[in-house]
Amino acid sequence: MTGLILKDFLCLRKVLKSYLIILVIYVGLTVFGVWSPAFTVGFFSVMAAMLPFTCFNLDYTAKWEPYGAALPVSRNQTVAARYCTLLIMQGVVAALELVTAGVFWLAGDREEALSTLLAGCLCLGMGAVLNAIILPLIYKFGAERARVIFYAAFLGLIGLAVLWLVPLGGAEWLMDTLNWLEGRNMMGLLVAIPFLFVAVCFLLLVPSWFISCAIYRRKEL
């Protein structure tokens, strides 16, 4: 399985190099105040979350799947390798976010440190949710069709969220909850929410992996 993870990273070498260049530019722009650190860490979380798409496209172009199935690696391990690739990339991004937030914290800018951490958590969590949904779809329909289905589902979810927040009174409910917490001096709980959010989002990858395995085991390659 480690061979398959290594294969993914070797194939992504060129893409990762270009990401590194973009990272340097973005960090420079952030230092000069063009945009906030929260934007930069969020941007790279999203970029990392999109990398599995690239892996699947590279597999397709190289006609790897039939050959990969002939290797002495089970299909479950093949799927697990792809999820591990994703987790490693997300882990690297999380570490970068923590370092960035840490730098601001040590520099005394606690507000910037917290906003960086919040943005990072939100984007990391969203990236995990995105992949938890999209990976089984890719195993079922292939990268291109899955992309279309995903965007349709994503827009649908945003639509539902907006519907819940405005006409259905979700925003009012949120404000009431915040007021309720504030009234009982429980605002400290809010600090834990981003981390809890990331943990829940990453836990979604577990059922996603089981679904992907079930699909891939029966797939004709």
Partner 1 sequence: MTNSIEIRGLVKEYKDFTLGPIDLTLPGGAILGLIGENGAGKTTLMRCMLGVTVPSAGTVSLLGVPWEEAKADVGVVMDDCFFYEQLRPKDVNSVLKRVYRTWDGGLFRDYLDKFRLPETKLIKEFSRGMRMKLSLASALAHRPRLLLLDEATAGLDPVVRDEILDEFLGFVSDEDHGILISSHITTDLEKVTDYIAYLHHGKIVLCGEKDRLLETYGRLACTREDLTSIDKNDLVAVRRSQYATEGLVRDRTAFARKYPGLTVEPVSLDEIMVFMEKGERL
Q: How far apart are CA 10 and CA 15, in angstroms?
A: 10
Give least dist CB 10 to partner 1, A.
Answer: 5
User: What percentage of the chain's residues is helix, strand, coil (to nearest 5)?
Assistant: 85, 0, 15
Using the minimum distance from each CB to partner 1, give the nearer residue, 10 or 21.
10
Give least dist CB 78 to partner 1, A.
Answer: 11
Here the tokens at position 122 are 């939100």
Among 24, 31, 62, 175, binds partner 1 (CB under 8 A): 62
Give least dist CB 211 to partner 1, A.
Answer: 19
Using the minimum distance from each CB to partner 1, give the nearer residue, 68 or 170.
68
6 near partner 1, judged by CB under 8 A: yes
Q: How many helices (H) and strands (E) does the chain have?
A: 10, 0
In the block, residue with structure tokens 């059922």? 207
DSSP structure class, residue 35: S
CA angle 6, 7, 9 (to 5 degrees): 65
Angle between the 37-62 and 2-11 helix axes, to the nearest 10 degrees? 110
Give least dist CB 73 to partner 1, A.
Answer: 6
x/- string (CB under 8 A) for partner 1, residues 10-49? xx-xx-----------------------------------
Residues 69-128 that bind partner 1 (CB under 8 A): 69-73
Among 17, 63, 110, 145, binds partner 1 (CB under 8 A): 63
Q: How far apart are CA 59 and CA 134, in angstroms?
A: 16
| H helical segments located in 110-188 | 110-141, 143-165, 170-183
Give least dist CB 87 to partner 1, A.
Answer: 18
67 near partner 1, judged by CB under 8 A: yes
Q: Return residues touching partner 1 (CB under 8 A).
A: 2-4, 6-7, 10-11, 13-14, 58, 61-64, 66-73, 218, 220-221
